[in-house]
Amino acid sequence: MDIVEFFQQSAGKWSSLRTSHNLAVKQQEGGRSDVVIEMLDKTDPDVVKLCEFYKVDPSTALCGTRVTWNGTMEWDQEKHTGSTVLVPLSNAENLHEGQLLRDTGDAEKAPSGRYVIKGEELTLTTESETLYAKERFWFESPNVRLRHSVLKRMGGFSMTSFCSDIRMGVVKPPEKAADETATTSS
């Protein structure tokens, strides 16, 4: 599996349950979100704009993905909503590794991250002067995606989380399988 296939498999609407543990204050909390993941063509204006923002040639983008979320956490019950665009750039020496550009929706440049695909598992790592984040994603089945993350900030603040994402609706059959079904039923 490569990064484009991983994003394609992730496309759709998901119900996400999160458990987070703040290690600094030894506090645990849960949350729930609806997450929509949409594939974007590498020529999509948002993909091109993000590449230009990072001063990267848009033709090197493999694809784009828009992630939108709407949810709540136990501690505040406020709505947490947002959206981001992700653009993977491959590493010419290793097609299972590369850079991941991210749009934060504001004027500041978010640190770009790195991705690594091992088998059917995606690991994203982002580092800056004040933050280290590592998130691992994998599919338990086509409609169940799991992920966990570790977030470390300067000054010793750390947080871990585990999420289970359940697809809302049914996965459409792969194009090839759909074509074969149409041929055999004719």
- 184: pLDDT confidence band, cut at 50, 70 and 90? very low
pLDDT tens digits, one per residue of 132-167: 899 999 999 999 999 999 999 877 778 899 999 999
In angstroms, rounded to a whole number, what is the distance separating the alpha carbons of residues 131 and 151? 7
pLDDT tens digits, one per residue of 29-67: 889 999 999 999 999 999 999 999 999 999 999 999 999
The pLDDT > 90 percentage for the chain reads 58
Q: What is the DSSP letter of 56?
A: -
Does the structure show a pLDDT above 80 at 17?
yes
Q: How many domains does the chain have?
A: 1
Q: Are 48 and 23 in contact (CB under 8 A)?
A: no
Does the structure show a pLDDT above 60 at 69?
yes
Q: How confident is the prediction for the chain on average, in pLDDT?
A: 85
User: Which residue type occupies 40?
Assistant: L
Taking alpha carbons only, the member of 107, 104, 36, 99 closest to residue 66 is 36
Q: What CATH number corresponds to the domain at position 77?
A: 2.40.128.20
Lowest-pLDDT choice from 11-25, 41-55, 105-119: 105-119
Domain that holds residue 36: 3-184
Does the structure show a pLDDT above 50 at 183?
no
pLDDT at res. 174: 53
Q: Which helix (H) or strand (E) holds 108?
A: none
- The tokens describing 48, both together, are 């091109």
pLDDT at res. 90: 82
Q: Are 21 and 159 in contact (CB under 8 A)?
A: yes
